[in-house]
Amino acid sequence: MTTTLVLGGPRSGKSRHAEALFAGVDDVTFVATRVLPDGAGDPDLVARIAAHQERRPAGWRTVETLDLTRALLASRQPVLIDSLVDWLQGVLDEQELWSDPHRAHQVVDERLDELAVALQAMPFDIVVITSDPSWVRMSDDPAERLFVDLLSHVNQRVSAGSARVHAIIAGRVLDLSSAPVLGS
């Protein structure tokens, strides 16, 4: 089975494309990495999440977690992970790593090592959504720079282990699957 990484900028259409990759599949585990406490959050974000939920087929099972490896190992059906951006932010928050770049890289790499093994071992298709920070202006804020650096690293690691990579730009899909992987 294959892993597909779907990346793009905000509001580029990456979620719709990722969902479309499972068109006609009734049983999918949707791993949500952004968990909003009841009544919390910005109303626009809450509305966007609700729209995403309404778009998904009724048979899709939702799991809210930052433990991607455990979610993959627990599933017996195709998995859609949305998203590595929220996962990374959650890990940094959970472990209080925003001001400790060295430890942040260490923790993220440990989790990526586990995830890489799980992604390769699963007997079903997996689609992973992420945003591409490579086109943003570098911030003067150390925490923002850490996040961009780590997300770029996360994306490259997951891309290297993915059979397919799709970039979504302005609602268009670019298949990067046959492009060479740097360092290979």
Identify the CATH number of the domain in which residue 50 sits. 3.40.50.300
Quick one: average pLDDT of 64-80? 96
Question: By CB neighbour count within 10 A (0-12 exposed, 13-18 middle, 19+ buried), where does 120 fall?
Answer: exposed
Structural domain includes residue 132 = yes
> Structural domain of residue 119, as residue ranges?
3-175
In a domain, 180, yes or no: no
Task: Indicate whether 21 belongs to any domain.
Answer: yes
19-38 pLDDT tens trace = 999 999 999 999 999 765 55
Q: Percentage helix, strand, coil, to 5, in the chain?
A: 45, 20, 40
Question: How many angstroms separate the CA atoms of 46 and 59, rounded?
Answer: 22
Instruction: Identify the H or E element spanning 31.
Output: strand 29-32
- Does residue 184 lie in a domain region? no
Per-residue pLDDT of 73-102, as tens digits, reads 999 999 999 999 999 999 999 999 999 999
Mean pLDDT of all residues in 155-172: 95
When pLDDT is averaged across residues 33-55 and rounded to a whole number, the result is: 68
User: What's CA 115's distance to the chain center, in Å?
Assistant: 12
- Cis status, amide bond into 83, omega within 30 of 0: yes
Determine, yes or no, domain membership for 60. yes
Residue 74 lies in a domain: yes
Residue 182 inside a domain? The answer is: no
Does 152 map to a domain? yes
Backbone phi, psi, residue 134, to 5°: -70, -15
H or E segment at 29?
A: strand 29-32
Domains of the chain: total: 1
